[in-house]
Amino acid sequence: MGKDRCLNITTLQTKDIRWPTSLGAHGSDAMHTDPDYSCVYVTIETAEGVTGYGMTFTLGRGTDIVLLAVRAMKRLVEGRTTTSIFERFGQFWRELTSDSQLRWIGPEKGVTHLAVAAIINALWDLWGRIRNVPVWQLLAEMEPEELVSTIDFRYIEDVITPEEATAMLRKTKPTRSERIQYLLANGYPAYTTQIGWLGYSDETIRALCRKYLAAGFKAFKMKVGQDLQNDIKRCKLVREEIGWGNQFMIDANQTWNVQTAIEWVISLKDFKPLWIEEPTSPDDVLGHAKIAAALREHSIGVATGEMCCNRVMFKQFMQANALEFCQIDSARIGGVNEILSVYLMAKKLNVKVCPHAGGVGLCEMVQHLQMWDFCSVSCTMEGRMVEFVDQQHDQFVFPATINEQACYVAPRAPGYSTELKQEAILQFEYPHGTEWKRMFAEGIFTHEDY
């Protein structure tokens, strides 16, 4: 690709944006019973007038804490040129995650890593806008050496080296354009979780199953984990609606210990779930491995990753054969750069990647990553799909779009699809947005709630 324009970064600004999704039980599961879908929203402005937009996803309370972490890191971005970042992006990523004082409250996990993701995602949006291509295409059209240079391989070279990653990408390059054309024509398969939030009534679940069947979906996921008898009833209800020819997955959102997870899922085995997602603590590699081993005879896989904090944890999960479906999250680990390394490890270790999405902006972002994987890494859609949740897409300038075959349509607008509409910011910035002022005035929420 040609040499990029060199822009001067002047300011990094950040906002706390929250939507009151708890009012409709949207996003509710066994662990997160009243989420208000939220994000820390970052804008990176340049002297030349080009702006990048990025975000990290949160659930309401705590968004302000992540915002403070972003502000603590802004000094590492402001005053830089885009060339000084993008030509040594892997090294810059390490600088951002390795500040000698800030890293003490991480490192590479939790609040500080969520903040890194918001900044990094904004930088990739900016890079896509500079090159005038969507991020999936930016990644797919990079020379292997350039792409590999964006990744910090520290701590994972015992699984994959930069040289191996470069060779892997070189091998797929000759047929890459064919897959790009296929993607543009057909999109990428999606599954929906919208039918299965734990706070939904039976009638709502039935109606949503019918809605998404009519929209072309062939894979459905339901939340479980609070009450076994209720889970049995709800699994039966979903199977009645979607039939046995469609795929069905269940998600416990980390609520069980290891033995409970095994026993509970075996109690649901007759409903033929493709996977159990997040059956126990997101940090328990060996616990997941034990669960996975116990469920293999029932042809039920283990899926996890949306709360996996960094590439090192993913490395261990894959090495330990503790998951069959790797669920990277576009805002959980340190943004695009680190996620690329997980895809490359998954390719080498023969693990399917089925990304976590939903939330605010996760569908918008993660579609780019999975499309790049198809074009340049795994080169297949077999056994792979991207989660879709029908929330807040109308708040974006370039929202994720699903076609009549329930596939994500490949984005064509430059960037990472992360720009919010100005109206959304005016309404939902916390606590002074017009919608929050209205809800406080009407007593729907109180300041004590947060």
Given the residues 113, 356, 368, 393, select the one marked as catalytic: 356
In three-state secondary structure terms, 113 is helix
Q: What is the CA radius of gyration of the chain?
A: 21
What is the residue whose two structure tokens read 């970064």?
9
**Catalytic residue check, 223:** yes
- Whether the upstream peptide bond of residue 20 has omega within 30° of 0, thus cis, is no
CB of 370 within 8 A of CB of 353?
Answer: yes
Q: Which residues on neighbouring strands pair with residue 353, listed in sequence order?
A: 326
The tokens of 75 are what? Answer: 């000094």
**Which contacts (CB < 8 Å, 24+ apart) does range 425-432 have?**
425/15, 425/17, 425/41, 428/17, 428/18, 428/19, 428/395, 429/15, 429/16, 429/17, 430/16, 430/17, 430/18, 430/38, 430/63, 430/64
**β-pairing verdict for 219-223 and 188-196:** parallel
User: Pseudo-torsion of CA 418, 317, 35, 221, nearest 10°?
Assistant: 90
What are the C-alpha distances in Å from 192 to residues 109, 161, 162, 215? 28, 35, 35, 11
- Counting every residue written for the chain, the total comes to 450
CA 342-52-422 angle, to 5 degrees, is 120
**Complete DSSP assignment for 351-402:** -EE-----TTTHHHHHHHHHHHIIIIIS---TT--EEE--SSGGGBSS---B
What is the residue whose two structure tokens read 């609520």?
255
In three-state secondary structure terms, 308 is coil
Burial class (CB in 10 A: 0-12, 13-18, 19+), 100: exposed
Given the residues 223, 288, 315, 393, select the one marked as catalytic: 223
DSSP conformation class of 448: G
**Catalytic residue check, 356:** yes
In angstroms, the CA 351 to CA 307 distance is 18
**Complete DSSP assignment for 115-133:** HHHHHHHHHHHHHHHHHTS
CB of 156 within 8 A of CB of 104?
Answer: no
Residues with a catalytic annotation lie at 223, 356
